Chains A and B, each alone.
Chain A
Amino acid sequence: MRMLLLKTWRDIKARKGQFSALIILVALGITSFVAFVSGYYNLTASADQANSELKLADFTVHVVDAPRSAVDGLKNIPGVAAVQGRLVIDTGVDLDENTQLTGRVISVPAGTHPPVDDILIESGSYPAEDSPGIFVNKKFASDNGIGPGDRLGVWAGGVKYDIEISGTVTSPEYIYPIRAKGELPSPKEFAVIFMTEDAAGQMFGLPSSYNDFAVSVAPGADREAVIGEVESVLEPYRVEETVRQEDQPSNFALHEEIRQNQSFAYFMPLVILIISALSLFIALSRLVQSQRGEIGLAKALGYANWQILLHYLFFSLIIAAAGAIVGFALGQIFAIFITNLYTDLLGIPFLESQIHIEVILWSVLMSTVSCVAAGLLPAYASARLLPVKAMHADPTLVVSGGKIPLVEKLLRPILPKAFTFRIPLRNVFRAKRRSLYTIIGIAFALVLTISTWAMFDTFNELIDVHFVQTENWDVTAAFEVPFTAGMIEDVRGIEGVNNVQTALQLPARLEAGGRTHESNITAMEPDQSFHYLNISEGASTNEALAGAGLIMTPAIAKKLGAKVGDEITVSSPYVKEEKLTLMSLSDEAWGAPVYVSAAEGRKLSGSPGGIYNTLYLDVDPDQAQAIKKQLYSLPGAATIMIKTTLIDSIRSMFDLLYTFGAILLLFGFTMAFVVIYNTFTANILERSREIATMRTIGEDRLHLAAMVTLENMFLAIVGIPVGIVMGLWVANALYKSLSTEAYSLKVVIYGSSYAMIILSILVVLLISEIPPIWRIFKLDLAEATKVIE
């Protein structure tokens, strides 16, 4: 046994390059697993801790206007652990004279932290009774380069209040800075402002009111029952919306992000590990092939089958152990990097970077299982070999008989005659298994590259489809209160405004077959052109919006278990249980919109006359900022967004995803190098006598390198399309798992990307050829020409 161990060690030393490559291959799989899974665990722990420390509400109820004393009634409801009443008001905010933004003012009790939906003071100190200043969310402050001592203009009732920033905070409700579920994040454009409830009440003319109640439910209590009780207590104050914790916009988005991270965490490492295991299998099979003579000798000398089996399994175990150690170390570094990136980007105040024992155990298990599984078959094959057979050349590698490949026969007139071309072409067909291994190697290399690269194009396409093809407006304006026909005319009269269209947005609850969905409904005229409806099923837009019809995305229909033609019960803060028919499904790249006709919208708003609260404007791009400023000066203006600014903001939100993509791409190219290097090196080793003979009789190095390159290029011609098809399949599976209620991802890879990927793979292929070609140059001709093959 000692001798076999010694042989194992010497074999490894003799193939340092190939063994290192295999260790790297396994390490890549483990690194990606540890990095993404630990990153996922850390992120989940960080988010959970933020929610728990800052007491994220189990649900919130938004009303029109309730007396502060309503809180006392709520506290007495069984199952209510704590309640915080507050004012939550959307308004315009002036960053400076020329920069108008959307703001949300939230009141907090003076001098004492709220028992629900608390805030973490990042700078400054908690607002006292007579505190005149405001606190803004940290992300907004850092993105705009402002902080304590700076001033913001907060609009209230058409008056701008110039107020000093006293500090920055993090709120569990705005870790992901959005106002509504499915909304596009725009942290730089959305100011969440906290001020004492007296200051907020005075500013907005609601000195003794609350319009929002954050409730925490006692452990063991039935949340839904508590919600029912709370809603009935608040009924007199007109309940507009009840938002459960899982639907709270930031919490929902954060958990979607975590869910996507989970998909990445489990899917990509799995792909990498499968590729690693298959590559390992190929490499070990070829190792066994190359050692047939030694196996025969060992068996002739009396070594038992199990000893031979064990010897070759040692290779696998050594690779597994080294791969797990290197992979875990690198993975942990990447995990900390990913967690930091996430918590920084999302502004999660609690960073939880830990070493997870279960991840270590999984790493060891996965590397061992994949390596042993990969090595078992070749090891078993080696153990089964009869000594007499083992001492002969591997029949699969010997060119038996002779045949000119069909492709050469067919294309003879147009193919180059030079042997520098013909020999590589024939080599492709001489040992089909060897060629197949190389093709698989090249294809594997492409799988990861394609599926990763698809991320960039898919998200770019998502933005492009949504903002260029679907959303046909330049500026949108949402108002807290419905505006009048006269105001629309005023907006039309603003210089630079080319067209104005109207819509009504209102919160609603949809129900079908016992399933519910909380969403904003957009009511619009059938002939509107600000939003393109891509009807995939059901009636046309005009028909669908002609009567009591609804249009929604397939994702929401699926959530509700509804089909076209089904009846949907819609409740709004003003109307209970309006029955509408699901008329059509609209494929929307982004968002989870639900559409009804303007007439139906009026019904749901409880107002029979013309009523709108949202404008969509076509404007002269140069005047967009000036128009935005003027819109904010209109009464009730809450959110004004310029499309181009929004796109920039979204792109910056994707930076994290792109960082992941870049890391995976690095993995992909490294894997491509390792896989191709290994197969090419084995190709060269298996033909060293032949290559040495060519060199001996006078073939120069340049031509030999050209022959190796050509052979690999021929194999790449087959491997690349196979890899692209496999890569697209993997990408489709991955991005399907990443699709959310808010956006559905369809894999897109641009033509230019295909060109880049293929070019990059060819460059990697050429680089990975260098070591085996160098081996050819360094061949000991005297020795190699005598090798028995």
Chain B
Amino acid sequence: MMNDTSYIATLEKVRKVYHMGEIVISALHELDLSIKRGEFLAVVGPSGSGKTTLLNLLGGIDTPSSGRITIDGEDISGFSQKELTYFRREKIGFIFQFFNLIPTLTARENVDFAIELASRDKVPPSRSAIELLGVVGLEQRLNHFPAQLSGGEQQRVAVARALAMDPALILGDEPTGNLDFSTGKLVLKAMKDLNVAEGKTCIIVTHNTPLAQVADRILHLHDGRIAEEEIVERPIPPEEITW
């Protein structure tokens, strides 16, 4: 399975334990998981089920207590902080619940910032900031600052920023969690379009089960374990989804 290039990410017996003083919390229990290239995966589950921990491990902002994580052919489990920084810069596109744009930069500059990070490693940008913002339908809002954009627009800028480095994985932690219904659908559509049109692998974490129906596969986590894996035969287009 490790060398199978059809998988963008694999987790083998991954455990994550947190120490809170004398209390030990097991967030993930020897989790095995494989994610195909071009897959749209939704991770759902109640609070404390380990879904965000899983996403953090996939994104390289946390390290496993044991087990092995391979992303795009690289075993990141033993990466140093510096290696993880370069890994995130080159391989991962993040979309946060609170958008997390840099407030002092315009929409275009927020995307350009990510492009500048990529270009430091001599990776030529696949697309310009204008093109990327065009992909999410914000070509008219290039020079607006985050505070001048609606929540949905901000999140779409975040999507464009996530695409700047042409990442292997796009990770969304509750990407619609801070948006209203219709705006949330717009953002979801932008991600789905990228998944379908460009074959980007997207993984979203959500507590909103109906929303997971846009995915190809739904992973139900419970108490740090995969409780259920659900293959969605016919994912619902985001514009048709209701919650």
> When the two chains form their complex, are residues B104 and A689 in contact, meaning their CB atoms are under 8 A apart?
no
> When the two chains form their complex, are residues A402 and B116 in contact, meaning their CB atoms are under 8 A apart?
no
- Render B131-162 as a binary contact track against A, CB cut-off 8 A, 1 for contact: 00000000000001111100000000000010
A695-B85, A701-B85 are known contacts. Are A402 and B98 too (CB-CB below 8 A)? no
Contact of B88 among A399, A427, A698 (CB under 8 A): A698
A401-B147, A698-B117, A782-B56 are known contacts. Are A423 and B104 too (CB-CB below 8 A)? yes
Residues of B within 8 A of A398 (CB): 103, 147
> When the two chains form their complex, are residues A786 and B98 in contact, meaning their CB atoms are under 8 A apart?
yes
> When the two chains form their complex, are residues B103 and A399 in contact, meaning their CB atoms are under 8 A apart?
yes
List the one stretch of B105-113, B193-201, B234-242 in contact with chain A.
B105-113
Q: Is B223 an interface residue (CB 8 A)?
A: no
Residues of A within 8 A of B224 (CB): none
Residues of A within 8 A of B109 (CB): 419, 422
- CB nearest neighbor in B for A690: B102
> When the two chains form their complex, are residues B116 and A419 in contact, meaning their CB atoms are under 8 A apart?
yes
Q: Is B114 an interface residue (CB 8 A)?
A: yes
Q: Is A646 an interface residue (CB 8 A)?
A: no
A419-B112, A698-B85 are known contacts. Are A781 and B147 too (CB-CB below 8 A)? no
B128: min CB distance to chain A, Å: 15
A426 to B105, CA, bound (A): 8
Q: Is B165 an interface residue (CB 8 A)?
A: yes
Q: Is A700 an interface residue (CB 8 A)?
A: yes
> When the two chains form their complex, are residues B96 and A786 in contact, meaning their CB atoms are under 8 A apart?
yes
A689 to B104, CA, bound (A): 14
Residues of A within 8 A of B100 (CB): 689-690, 693, 785
> When the two chains form their complex, are residues B52 and A782 in contact, meaning their CB atoms are under 8 A apart?
yes
Residues of B within 8 A of A701 (CB): 81-82, 85
Interface size, chain A (Cβ < 8 Å)? 30
- Render A757-782 as a binary contact track against B, CB cut-off 8 A, 1 for contact: 00000000000000000000000011
A560: min CB distance to chain B, Å: 64
> When the two chains form their complex, are residues A697 and B117 in contact, meaning their CB atoms are under 8 A apart?
yes
Q: Is A696 an interface residue (CB 8 A)?
A: yes
Residues of A within 8 A of B52 (CB): 782
B162: min CB distance to chain A, Å: 8
> When the two chains form their complex, are residues A697 and B88 in contact, meaning their CB atoms are under 8 A apart?
yes
Contact of B96 among A399, A426, A693 (CB under 8 A): A693
Interface residues of A in 686-718 (CB under 8 A from B): 689-690, 693-701
Q: Is A301 an interface residue (CB 8 A)?
A: no
> When the two chains form their complex, are residues B94 and A697 in contact, meaning their CB atoms are under 8 A apart?
yes
Among A690, A695, A785, residue most surrounded by chain B Cβ atoms (within 10 Å): A785
Interface residues of B in 78-102 (CB under 8 A from A): 81-82, 85-86, 88-90, 94, 96-98, 100, 102
Residues of B within 8 A of A401 (CB): 145, 147-148
> When the two chains form their complex, are residues A698 and B96 in contact, meaning their CB atoms are under 8 A apart?
no
> When the two chains form their complex, are residues A700 and B85 in contact, meaning their CB atoms are under 8 A apart?
yes
Residues of A within 8 A of B147 (CB): 398-402
Q: Is B61 an interface residue (CB 8 A)?
A: yes
Residues of B within 8 A of A689 (CB): 98, 100
> When the two chains form their complex, are residues A399 and B145 in contact, meaning their CB atoms are under 8 A apart?
yes
A399-B146, A689-B100, A690-B100 are known contacts. Are A698 and B165 too (CB-CB below 8 A)? yes
Contact of A694 among B59, B97, B102 (CB under 8 A): B102
- Render B188-223 as a binary contact track against A, CB cut-off 8 A, 1 for contact: 000000000000000000000000000000000000
Q: Is A418 an interface residue (CB 8 A)?
A: yes
A419 to B116, CA, bound (A): 8
A733: min CB distance to chain B, Å: 40
A402-B148, A694-B102, A697-B114 are known contacts. Are A782 and B88 too (CB-CB below 8 A)? no
- Render A403-425 as a binary contact track against B, CB cut-off 8 A, 1 for contact: 10000000000000011001100
> When the two chains form their complex, are residues A782 and B62 in contact, meaning their CB atoms are under 8 A apart?
yes
Contact of A700 among B82, B105, B165, B173 (CB under 8 A): B82
A402-B144, A782-B56 are known contacts. Are A693 and B102 too (CB-CB below 8 A)? yes
Contact of A423 among B85, B105, B146, B165 (CB under 8 A): B105
Q: Is A361 an interface residue (CB 8 A)?
A: no
Residues of A within 8 A of B94 (CB): 693, 696-697, 785
> When the two chains form their complex, are residues A402 and B145 in contact, meaning their CB atoms are under 8 A apart?
yes
- Render A533-561 as a binary contact track against B, CB cut-off 8 A, 1 for contact: 00000000000000000000000000000
- CB nearest neighbor in A for B107: A402
Residues of B within 8 A of A781 (CB): 56, 61-62
Residues of A within 8 A of B106 (CB): 402
A700 to B117, CA, bound (A): 9
Q: Is A55 an interface residue (CB 8 A)?
A: no
Among A403, A419, A695, A789, residue most surrounded by chain B Cβ atoms (within 10 Å): A419
- CB nearest neighbor in B for A781: B61
> When the two chains form their complex, are residues B116 and A696 in contact, meaning their CB atoms are under 8 A apart?
no
B160: min CB distance to chain A, Å: 12
A694 to B101, CA, bound (A): 9
> When the two chains form their complex, are residues B61 and A782 in contact, meaning their CB atoms are under 8 A apart?
yes
Q: Is A139 an interface residue (CB 8 A)?
A: no
A401-B145, A402-B144, A402-B146 are known contacts. Are A418 and B104 too (CB-CB below 8 A)? no
A448 to B37, CA, bound (A): 63
Q: Is A788 an interface residue (CB 8 A)?
A: yes
- CB nearest neighbor in A for B59: A696
Q: Is A434 an interface residue (CB 8 A)?
A: no
> When the two chains form their complex, are residues A788 and B98 in contact, meaning their CB atoms are under 8 A apart?
yes
- Render B31-75 as a binary contact track against A, CB cut-off 8 A, 1 for contact: 000000000000000000000100010010110000000000000
Q: Is A430 an interface residue (CB 8 A)?
A: yes
A428: min CB distance to chain B, Å: 10
A118 to B146, CA, bound (A): 84
A422 to B103, CA, bound (A): 13
- CB nearest neighbor in A for B118: A698
> When the two chains form their complex, are residues B103 and A430 in contact, meaning their CB atoms are under 8 A apart?
yes
Residues of A within 8 A of B146 (CB): 399, 402
A180 to B94, CA, bound (A): 82
A785 to B98, CA, bound (A): 8
A699 to B165, CA, bound (A): 13
A303: min CB distance to chain B, Å: 27
A710: min CB distance to chain B, Å: 13
A245 to B96, CA, bound (A): 81
Among A402, A781, A789, residue most surrounded by chain B Cβ atoms (within 10 Å): A402
- CB nearest neighbor in B for A777: B81
- CB nearest neighbor in A for B55: A782
> When the two chains form their complex, are residues A399 and B104 in contact, meaning their CB atoms are under 8 A apart?
yes
B170: min CB distance to chain A, Å: 12
- CB nearest neighbor in A for B117: A698
Residues of B within 8 A of A399 (CB): 103-104, 145-147
Residues of B within 8 A of A696 (CB): 59, 61, 88, 94
Among A422, A701, A782, residue most surrounded by chain B Cβ atoms (within 10 Å): A782
Residues of B within 8 A of A788 (CB): 98
Among B61, B81, B146, B147, residue most surrounded by chain A Cβ atoms (within 10 Å): B61
23 contacts between A and B (CB under 8 A): A399-B103, A401-B145, A403-B145, A419-B112, A422-B105, A423-B113, A427-B104, A690-B100, A690-B102, A693-B96, A693-B100, A697-B89, A697-B161, A698-B85, A698-B86, A698-B114, A698-B118, A699-B117, A700-B82, A781-B56, A781-B61, A782-B61, A785-B61
Can you name 13 extra interface pairs (CB under 8 A) apart from A402-B106, A693-B100, A700-B86? A398-B147, A399-B103, A399-B147, A402-B104, A402-B148, A418-B116, A423-B105, A430-B103, A701-B82, A781-B61, A782-B56, A782-B62, A786-B98
Q: List 7 tightest A-B contacts by C-beta distance, closest first.
A: A402-B145, A698-B89, A399-B103, A426-B104, A693-B100, A781-B61, A782-B56
